[in-house]
């Protein structure tokens, strides 16, 4: 049941190797939050989630605790666990830190199986190309999601990898909620970013890869700031 649920909810998303029920359920609930299937303010019931995934409430409680650490939910006595909101000022702060962290990626990243990494990027490039004729915001998010997993997986420093992952998901909800209003521009930038990341991987230049990420995070922040102030 859990495996079927994961497959249906995350079609097209590369899952990391299975590490047990808690990791799998956490991954799925986090994706629902970031795709706004659970909008800010949504109350997440331990009982209902346990029934849905056919597990006890203990692993669900562990999932919610992990999501709270990541800043995606908050638990209050007498109220329960709700999905947090992200305002534009907090979003800017998160992006400012992501900019600095991206500069460190090249110092702590190492290419593994370059042929496999290039095949994964080529697959994302092909999917991004099809977005031009198919307006699919969820597929757009999934491509970015898989790109994040690829880059995050190259980071050898566990502390940097953890915060790099955490901040990506913290920021993604605001960005995802606005992407439809900037569709053509966002798709064009995504295709350019993927092409530049492919060149960096092909050259085995991890510092270049980090700076590609930094540049496109900066471009994205500028576009979203412009939109929010319009």
Is the model's pLDDT at 14 over the cut of 60?
A: no
Neighbours of 42 (CB within 10 A): 16
Q: Domain residues of the chain, as ranges?
A: 2-83, 88-229
CA–CA separation, 27 vs 6, rounded Å?
9
The CATH number of 2-83 is which of 1.10.274.100, 3.30.420.40, 3.40.50.300, 1.10.10.10?
A: 1.10.10.10
Which CATH superfamily groups domain 88-229?
GntR ligand-binding domain-like (1.20.120.530)
* pLDDT > 70 fraction of the chain, expressed in percent and rounded: 91
pTM (predicted TM-score): 0.82
Residue 208 backbone zone (phi > 0: left; psi -120 to 50: alpha; other: beta): alpha
- The predicted-structure confidence for 89-136, as pLDDT tens digits, reads as follows 888 888 889 999 998 998 999 877 889 999 999 999 999 999 988 889
Question: Going along the chain, which residue ranges are E strands?
Answer: 43-44, 73-76, 80-83
Helix (H) or strand (E) holding 224: helix 206-229
Residue 102 and residue 208 in contact, taking contact as beta carbons nearer than 8 Å: no
Helix (H) or strand (E) holding 154: helix 137-154
CA–CA separation, 120 vs 149, rounded Å?
11
**How many Cα atoms occupy the beta-carbon half-sphere of 190 within 13 Å?**
29
Instruction: Tokens 């940097």: give the residue.
Output: 160
CA–CA separation, 197 vs 120, rounded Å?
11
The pLDDT confidence band at residue 230, using thresholds 50, 70 and 90, is: low
- The predicted-structure confidence for 155-182, as pLDDT tens digits, reads as follows 999 999 999 999 998 888 877 777 888 8
CA–CA separation, 27 vs 18, rounded Å?
10
Residue 217 and residue 94 in contact, taking contact as beta carbons nearer than 8 Å: no
Tokens of 152: 């995050």
The pLDDT value given to residue 137: 87
């Amino acid at each position: 049941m859990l495996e079927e649920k994961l497959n249906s909810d995350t079609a097209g998303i590369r899952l990391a190797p299975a590490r047990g029920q808690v990791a799998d359920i956490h991954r799925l609930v986090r994706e629902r939050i970031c795709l706004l299937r659970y909008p800010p303010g949504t109350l997440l019931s331990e009982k209902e989630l346990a029934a849905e995934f056919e597990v006890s409430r203990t692993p669900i409680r562990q999932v919610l605790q992990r999501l709270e650490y990541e800043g995606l939910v908050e638990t209050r006595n007498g109220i329960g666990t709700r999905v947090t909101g992200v305002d534009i000022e907090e979003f800017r702060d998160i992006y400012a830190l992501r900019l600095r962290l991206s500069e460190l990626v090249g110092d702590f990243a190492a290419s593994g199986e370059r042929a496999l990494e290039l095949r994964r990027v080529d697959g994302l490039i092909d999917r991004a190309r099809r977005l031009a004729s198919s307006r699919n915001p969820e597929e757009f998010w999934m491509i970015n999601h898989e790109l994040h997993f690829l880059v995050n997986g190259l980071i050898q420093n566990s502390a940097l990898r953890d915060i790099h992952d955490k901040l990506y998901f913290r920021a993604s909800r605001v960005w995802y909620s606005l992407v439809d209003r900037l569709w053509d521009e966002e798709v064009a930038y995504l295709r350019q970013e993927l092409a530049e990341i492919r060149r960096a991987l092909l050259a085995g230049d991890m510092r270049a890869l980090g700076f590609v990420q930094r540049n496109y995070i900066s471009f994205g922040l500028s576009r979203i700031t412009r939109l929010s102030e319009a």
